[in-house]
Amino acid sequence: MTASFAERLSSRIQRFGPLCIGIDPSNRLLAQCELPDSAEGALAFGRRVIDAVDAELPIIKPQAAYFERFGSAGWRALEQLCAHAQSAGLMVLLDGKRGDIDATADAYGDAYFGPSSTLPADAITVHAYLGYAALAGLVARARTAAAGVFVVVRSSNTEGQALQQAVTADGSSVAMALAAQISADNASHGDGAGAVGAVVGATCTDAAATVAALPQSFILAPGVGAQGATLADVAERMPQARGRVLPSVSRAILRAGADPAALKQTICQLRDQAKALLSG
Amino acid sequence: MTASFAERLSSRIQRFGPLCIGIDPSNRLLAQCELPDSAEGALAFGRRVIDAVDAELPIIKPQAAYFERFGSAGWRALEQLCAHAQSAGLMVLLDGKRGDIDATADAYGDAYFGPSSTLPADAITVHAYLGYAALAGLVARARTAAAGVFVVVRSSNTEGQALQQAVTADGSSVAMALAAQISADNASHGDGAGAVGAVVGATCTDAAATVAALPQSFILAPGVGAQGATLADVAERMPQARGRVLPSVSRAILRAGADPAALKQTICQLRDQAKALLSG
């Protein structure tokens, strides 16, 4: 039997520490790396990062938007990049923040977790503006495929706070209500770490309460580096999540991408720091 | 100078009435139509709908998820379908509910509204879980391309209501706060209909107040047909929005897709009914 998403990810975090690298081939980064602003350039950039990682991280996070801007050619590059990462032994978290209702949400589930998926991800990010319950079919497809789903609970930017802190009819915030739904879903599927993770920005100074409400979830913590948070901030703000928090760094690493040796050094440094500060 | 999104859409609504058809090639619909569950099948299905429409609708709405499930091949089919629709004279609203922060949201803008886009949409749907302000770069790109953006304000499903009705710090609901931000944005760009539309479910019995807070927005109203709302419900629930509400029907039309003649008849019937009930 295939190991569950949580078992696979936990085992890799124990081995390599928790650092997650985002692969965001923006036009600016591609120009810095003297690569063309094309699907080929985005793929070459992604391969460079994966080769520098040399499989010594638990998971990498390609950002769909940067590939989608090249249409079907970009999508093909993304498929090739994810296949390259998985054959190198890495897990892949596709960051696309998908979400919709009933049959449409199911179709997104089929896209990434279906038996005939051309882009089989180990996990994807989703949004719940249309309600967590609307994602049930998508989450079920992830579980069947031994994959995971990360729901954006609290984003790393300031513009999202008003919505995420709005108060629902039962008196809890949108973020806390979502955390409760995620946790109930994970708990109903057994003990231990669950298939449904959460995105909680490393920049949220009050993240502790949110993370405490997500006892079985992996926490993807974006906002480390260019957005201003540090790995030490993550350790301080999410102390309960040691061993299951994935601090996510993109630009702060990728801007070293012009020089493969410098890229590798930056990755190793941050990987070791993350392992020391945040391992379970 | 190219006419703005609003000018183009208003003119087409005046001519053909406001009906929008969603193109959702699910595995179930493809099977009903005896088409293969593949990118080719999805494209053939979409072409069949567009040919039956015969350009006599203002806009059609392909759903990205149903194409994305075939990966890059599905994306290629979606590009071909959108090009076919536009060369037939139709406007295209791509329903993908994208959304993210800063540079990533901008990349989605480039994907659909950039000068080198391979899938130039007349408009896309977006979600604002990460805040409306985070979409500023995406919206700016739409305006530059004389295109539009539809923000999900109130979805047609029940599962989304708790979040969308949660109360923000200033005392308004998430949906009403979003409507206010959209309206301020449209107003700051001039009189008349704006580039930023809103999704408000036809199933929301209390939609009137939300629509009243969106005086310059086109309103995409999904949920007509299979989800239970009727065109008469839209007329009753959104009386202020005559001439700028797009009732959106998918399954109730598409299930006639096995027979092109029946499909055309269903479309014409609903088109005429929508025109009679909802034109400005």
Quick one: pLDDT at residue A1? Answer: 60
The pLDDT score that the predictor gives to residue B1 is: 60
Query: Hey, what CATH class is B5-278 in?
Result: alpha beta
Say if strands B91-98 and B123-126 run parallel, antiparallel, or are unpaired.
parallel
Looking at beta carbons, which residues of chain A come within 8 Å of B127?
97, 99, 127, 129-130
State both tokens at A178. Answer: 């979502």
- Asked if B65's CB is within 8 angstroms of A155's CB, the reply is no
ipTM: 0.97
Report pLDDT digits (tens) over A35-68: 999 999 999 999 999 999 999 999 999 999 999 9
Whether the predicted pLDDT of B155 surpasses 80: yes
Give per-residue burial for B9-23: e unless 16+ CB within 10 Å, then b. bbebbeebbbbbbbb
pLDDT of residue B167: 98
The beta strand positions in chain B, using DSSP E, are 20-23, 59-62, 91-98, 123-126, 148-154, 196-200, 219-224, 245-249
Mean pLDDT, residues B260-269 taken together: 94
Count other C-beta atoms under 10 Å from residue B277's C-beta.
Answer: 19
pLDDT tens digits in sequence order for chain A, 280 residues long:
689 999 999 999 999 999 999 999 999 999 999 999 999 999 999 999 999 999 999 999 999 999 999 999 999 999 999 999 999 999 999 999 999 998 999 999 999 999 999 998 999 999 999 999 999 999 999 999 999 999 999 999 999 999 999 999 999 999 999 999 999 999 999 888 999 999 999 999 999 999 999 999 999 999 999 889 999 999 999 999 999 999 999 988 988 988 999 999 999 999 999 999 998 7
**Chain A CB contacts of B177 below 8 Å:** 162-163, 166
Asked if B108 contacts B142 with a C-beta cutoff of 8 angstroms, the reply is: no
Which tens digits make up the pLDDT trace of B212-223? 999 999 999 999
pTM above 0.90, yes or no: yes
Mutate to test the interface with B, among A26, A92, A97 (most CBs of B within 10 A): A97
Tokens matching residue A204:
């949220």
SS3 B270: helix
Measured CA to CA, the distance from residue B30 to residue B45 in angstroms comes to: 7
pLDDT of residue A191: 80
Which of A30, A152, A101 has the alpha carbon at shortest distance from B160? A101
pLDDT of residue A39: 98
Mean pLDDT of chain B: 96
Measured between alpha carbons, how far is A174 from B175 in angstroms, rounded to an integer? 13
Q: pLDDT digit string (tens) for B121-152?
A: 999 999 999 999 999 999 999 999 999 999 99
Return the pLDDT at B30: 96
> If DSSP codes are grouped into helix, strand and coil, which group holds residue A96?
strand
The residue whose two tokens read 């520490």 is: A17
- Å from B54 to nearest chain A CA? 26
Which helix (H) or strand (E) segment holds residue B16: the answer is helix B5-16
Higher-scoring residue by pLDDT: B190, B60: B60
- Say if residues A200 and A153 touch (Cβ distance below 8 Å): yes
List residues bridging with A173 in a β-sheet.
A167
Chain A residue at shortest CA distance from B201: A130
User: What confidence score (pLDDT) does residue B192 get?
Assistant: 86
Please list every residue in chain B whose beta carbon sits closer than 8 Å to the beta carbon of residue A127: 97, 99, 127, 129-130
Least confident of A122-126, A170-174, B175-179, B188-192: B188-192
